[in-house]
Each structure stands twice: as structure tokens, then as C-alpha cells.
Amino acid sequence: MYPALMQLTASDYVLWGLATFLELILCILVVRRGLYRRLPFFSAYLALAFASGILVWWAYHVLDYGSWAAWYFSRTVQGVVLVARGLVIVELCRVSLRAYRGIWALACRLLCAIALLLLVNATINARGHADHINAFVWAAERGLELAAAVVLLSLFLISRYYQIRIEHAPRVIAFGLCFYSLIQVLNNSFMAECLAHYAPWWNGTRLASFQVALAIWLLALRRPLPSPAPAPALLPQEVYDELSPQMNYRLRVLNQRLLELLRP
């Protein structure tokens, strides 16, 4: 993670360097704990976040900090990181709900619909702007942060309501991502309109919240990961075959009563 292409302060450099250091430690722990086998997209996202920080640092200092080349390069890298983070959220939902094929099938369709809406919204917002790439990435980032917070909070609520057990590492990783997204939603909502005046605060909040997420993930990986939990025992197929007609009949009765109530 890295600050936006604005006037960098000494605190930005300190936070940026600390985030890069924490990302490196996390990448090492991911390899040592074997997390890359369980969560390959999250592992790739961490490696990409670490590499992107170095690449953008290089662009700022070699291509000239205020140049358009550095600006577009940083925005392009940011867009790639955004896509990677979206894939991590999908992966966390899949790992948490894969034992429940019906719930996961519904969640997968909802995630695809959200991704399509975000893409359309970002494209519409980018139209009419002289800087299409900047406007597109900005709109996509705002939409992704809000969608990520809603999806992850929904995952926590569903798992609690239906008593779905989520493994420790995916749960903590999801919590860190949810925390970062919620802070970014508030950060963008309160400071986006006056970003030119509050750029140092915006950058500082962005970097600090990501470091908190990195610290949360470090706590999750400080010890070896336990063995994957076995899939929950489901009822025999005969039970579902017996209950399915009864449920369908009740749904038809409910549907008919609703139609009668709504009929003018």
C-alpha cells in the first residue's frame, strides 16, 4: 500500500516504509505457515502489495514525482491491487461457505452482480472527466471499499446466524479487510470533497488503517496454522428428498396467499 500521488510528508515516508516492512514480514510468514496453499489469492495480494509499493516508490523518484508518467503508472498499479483485493474477498467467501453449496452459489451470484455494478458505475463516473484513468480508479476504489465492507459484514452475520464455523486465519483476514474498508469508506466520505486541503490527513489515515490491518494479519499468523476443519456432516439425501415436497407445498401456499392479499 502506498500514498496517493500528492505532496508527500515525512510522516507519509515513515508510514509507507513501515507498511512495506510489515508486508515483507507477512509474505515470509505466509510461506512459512503454508497459507499460500489455503489462500492463494490472499498470498498473491500480499506479494503484489509489497511489490507495488516498491514499484511506485521507483516511479516517484525515477520518473519524476510530479510527472504524468509517474501519475498514470501509480494509478495503473493501484487498479491492479484493487482487482487483487476484490479476488481476495471472493476467496474468503468461498473458503468460508464452500461446505454449503446452496449458500455459496447464491453468494457467488451476488458477488458477480456487485462486480458488474461497480464496473458500470466506475465507467459512468469516468465519462466526462479529462483524466479517465484517475476518475475510473477513484470511483472503482470507493465502490469496492463499500462493497467489501458490506459483503464481509454480511459474511460475519450469516456465519453467526447459521452457526457456520469459519477457520481462524480466514476469519481474522476477513476482519482486517473489513476494518480497512470501513475506515476507507469513512475517509473517502468525509475528506474526498476537500482532498486538496486535507491531503496529508487523507494519506495518513489511509496508510495507518492499512498498517492496522497488517498488524491484525500478523497476529493471525504468529503461530502455526491448525489443520483444516473437516466438512460439516449433512443430513442424508433421503431426508432432503422427503422434506423437499413439503417445503415446496408450503411455499406454494404462501405464494398463493400473498397473491390473494395483493389482488385488487
pTM for this predicted structure: 0.76
41 phi-psi bin (left φ>0, alpha ψ -120 to 50, beta other): alpha
Helix, strand, coil % in the chain, rounded to nearest 5? 80, 0, 20
Residue-wise pLDDT tens digits, 162-179: 788 888 899 999 999 999
Q: At what angle do helices 168-191 and 195-220 cross, to 10 degrees?
A: 170
194 pLDDT higher than 80: no
Looking at the fold, whether 94 and 120 belong to one and the same domain comes out as yes
Which domain CATH number covers 55? 1.20.1070
Say how far apart CA 26 and CA 50 lie, in whole Å.
10
Owning domain of residue 143 = 10-225
Per-residue cell: 167: 477457520
Nearest to residue 124, comparing CAs of 136, 113, 112, 133?
Answer: 136
Please indicate, yes or no, if residue 21 is contained in any of the structural domains: yes
How many whole angstroms separate alpha carbon 251 and alpha carbon 263?
A: 18
Q: What is the mean pLDDT of residues 50-61?
A: 84
Rounded to an integer, the average pLDDT of 251-264 is 58
The pLDDT-based confidence of 207 (bands split at 50, 70, 90) is: confident
In whole numbers, what is the pLDDT of the chain averaged over residues?
77
Residues 119 and 241 in one domain: no
Tally of structural domains, the chain = 2
Together in a domain, 245 and 155: no
Long-range contacts of 27-33 (CB under 8 A, 24+ apart): 29/218, 29/221, 29/222, 30/221, 33/221, 33/224, 33/225
Q: Is residue 115 part of a domain?
A: yes
Encode pLDDT of 86-130 as tens digits: 899 999 988 988 877 777 777 777 777 777 777 676 667 656 555
In a domain, 257, yes or no: yes
Q: Check whether residue 220 and residue 239 sit in a common domain.
A: no
pLDDT reported for residue 252: 63
133 contact partners, CB below 8 Å, separation of at least 6: 72, 75, 76, 79, 126
Do residue 67 and residue 157 come from a single domain?
Answer: yes
**Maximum distance among all alpha carbons in the chain?**
71
Please determine, for residue 57, whether its predicted confidence score (pLDDT) is greater than 50.
yes
Q: How far, CA to CA in Å, does 137 sit from each of 62, 76, 159, 175, 180?
A: 23, 8, 32, 24, 18
**Same domain? 43 vs 156:** yes
Predicted confidence at residue 5, as pLDDT, reads 46
In a domain, 2, yes or no: no
In the predicted structure, residue 264 carries a pLDDT above the cut 80: no
Write down the H helix ranges in 63-131.
68-97, 101-126
Q: Is the pLDDT confidence value at 153 over 70?
A: yes
**Hey, what amino acid is at 205?**
T
